[in-house]
Amino acid sequence: MRSHASVEIVLLVPGLLGPGDGGRGDAGAAHALVEGLDLDGLDRLLSRAEHTEERGTDTSLEALALRSFGYDAPPAGADFPVAAFTALVDCDAEDKSGDRSEEDETEGLPVEGEGGSRSAGAEGGLPSMERGGGSRLVEREVGASPAEGEGGVRPVEREGTSRSVQGGGGFRVRVDPVHLRADIADLVLFDAARADLSRAEAAALARIVNDTLGRDGPHIDAAHPHRWYVALDAPARIATTPLSLATGARVSEAMPRGPDAPRWHRWMNEVQMALHECPVNAERERRGAVPINSVWPWGAGSLPPAPAAPAPFVGTWSDEALVHGLARHAGVQRGAMPVGARAWLDGEPRPGVHLVVFADLYPAVRRADIDLWRSAVAHFSAAWAQPLLGALDRGAVARVAMHDERGNRFTSTRRGRFRWWRRAGLAARIAG
């Protein structure tokens, strides 16, 4: 392997310090959280790291990604424009996909008849590497048919109009399919990413939603099975909760807020009624899959100009659509998440700073799932921390910086190996 002395790595590791406040200020609880795990690589990497802290109010995965690309937090009550960035990726994938007909994709799938059902709801509502470059967003007909591959529906002009967005403009809202489950005192939200929702099912469900909302409601574009969009001519006057933070939370505490919130609550109510016993969900429940019984609006905004300073990365590596959208907008190379640091280094990355997003810990933290978190952190230590520690010691990598969603930054260099007296491993970092 040739020397990578000019290669630096920024690792976004949301959830690194464990679920909730477990172990904060309590060394015994912190050690119990990691007891029995082989975390030698991570402990040694953290022991030599310099720790800095920058507190923020938004601890979502989305906010962490946007801050990494130089975007400041929006004013209080405003959303990060997540929808605008992720739509770049979904539209880009669409343009590269085939042109299969709707009949080919949705054949044999149960769909409600023309017009669907429309019910009035209560106003309050129920609780390979690519070079980035230009972008194009097209308003499409939902149900005009999803194509194969990572993408969405075939680009079709709706009502004779199309809309292209370059730079700013083009207001978008993510309206993602979700599963709501009744709890003792509230509803709890689960996103569709873990619900095995197919493209055909997403197209059929979106068609039911659009039939239900009719001309008075927003038109949903199921550009990806898990990522649905609404294009608006003017900003929606709502403040929303990112899906990553709403997942596992009480719905009543995370509903849209602001002047237009009652309208969005009413639409959500109508959607829930339409999807409650629709044929698609009946078929899903028959085979043991959770029903998609609501939508979640969030991430509203238009595509902002790139920050004045150029993107700090020469390459990004992630399975997160937002990270790919940010990289595309900034003209930065992007690739899928590698299986581990050894495989990534064997690919001889180009000199410069690379962004790697390890998001496996974050869902466990949001759901307070300690067993899942322990499994994921052990994998991170073996697949990433241990090989990167060795690369630092060999001089193959100049710097490794790990960032979490709470504003902690742990920066390790080769020089840090001389700090043999420090023993601030993961348990000590968790305890603070």
As a whole number of angstroms, the distance between CA 365 and CA 373 comes to 7
102 within domain boundaries? yes
Cβ 315 vs Cβ 350: under 8 Å? yes
49: phi > 0 → left, psi -120 to 50 → alpha, else beta; which?
A: beta
pLDDT confidence bin for 20, thresholds 50/70/90:
low
CA 271 centroid distance within chain: 23
As a whole number of angstroms, the distance between CA 199 and CA 142 comes to 11
pLDDT confidence bin for 431, thresholds 50/70/90:
confident
361 within domain boundaries? yes
Residue range 147-153: average pLDDT?
29
Mean pLDDT of the chain: 80
> For position 54, what pLDDT does the model report?
84
As a whole number of angstroms, the distance between CA 111 and CA 278 comes to 8
Query: Beta strands 50-53 and 408-413: pairing type?
Result: antiparallel
Does residue 383 carry a pLDDT above 80? yes
Q: What are phi and psi of 296, to 5 degrees?
A: -125, 110
DSSP 351-403: SEEEEEE--THHHHHHTT-HHHHHHHHHHHIIIIIHHHHHHHHHTS-SEEEEE
State whether the Cα torsion 171-309-391-13 is positive or negative: negative
Q: Could you say which of 301, 322, 351 is where a domain stops? A: 301
1 within domain boundaries? no
Say if residue 113 is in the same domain as residue 216: yes
Does residue 432 carry a pLDDT above 60? yes
Say if residue 339 is in the same domain as residue 398: yes
As a whole number of angstroms, the distance between CA 349 and CA 8 comes to 10
Does residue 62 carry a pLDDT above 70? yes
Q: Could you say which of 301, 324, 354 is where a domain stops? A: 301
Number of neighbouring beta carbons within 10 Å of residue 50 = 12
> For position 418, what pLDDT does the model report?
57
Closest CA to 101 of 140, 139, 154: 154
> For position 128, what pLDDT does the model report?
42
Q: Could you say which of 253, 269, 301 is where a domain stops? A: 301
The mean-pLDDT minimum among 49-53, 119-123, 153-157, 411-415 falls in 153-157
The overall longest dimension of the chain from CA atoms, in Å, is 72
Number of domains in the chain: 2
Say if residue 54 is in the same domain as residue 164: no
Closest CA to 153 of 114, 195, 100: 100
Q: What are phi and psi of 405, to 5 degrees?
A: -75, -10
> For position 116, what pLDDT does the model report?
38
Could you list the residue range(s) of the whole structural domain that residue 194 is in?
Answer: 82-301
> Residue 171: which residues within 8 A CB-CB, separation 6 or more?
231, 232, 233, 234, 235, 236, 300, 301, 302
Q: What is the CATH number of the domain that holds 62?
A: 3.40.720.10
> Residue 408: which residues within 8 A CB-CB, separation 6 or more?
16, 17, 51, 52, 53, 429
The mean-pLDDT minimum among 20-24, 173-177, 220-224, 257-261 falls in 20-24
Say if residue 138 is in the same domain as residue 276: yes
pLDDT, tens only, 273-313: 999 889 999 999 999 999 999 999 999 999 888 888 888 89
Say if residue 213 is in the same domain as residue 331: no
Closest CA to 110 of 294, 277, 296: 277
Say if residue 106 is in the same domain as residue 216: yes
DSSP-based three-state secondary structure for 243:
helix
Cβ 48 vs Cβ 416: under 8 Å? yes
Say if residue 267 is in the same domain as residue 380: no
Does residue 7 carry a pLDDT above 90? yes
Say if residue 277 is in the same domain as residue 130: yes
2 within domain boundaries? no
The mean-pLDDT minimum among 30-39, 128-137, 149-158, 393-402 falls in 149-158
Say if residue 284 is in the same domain as residue 348: no
Say if residue 64 is in the same domain as residue 88: no
Say if residue 148 is in the same domain as residue 257: yes
The mean-pLDDT minimum among 107-121, 149-163, 271-285, 348-362 falls in 149-163
As a whole number of angstroms, the distance between CA 239 and CA 255 comes to 9
pLDDT, tens only, 84-129: 999 999 876 655 554 443 434 434 444 443 333 333 333 344 444 4
Does residue 2 carry a pLDDT above 70? no
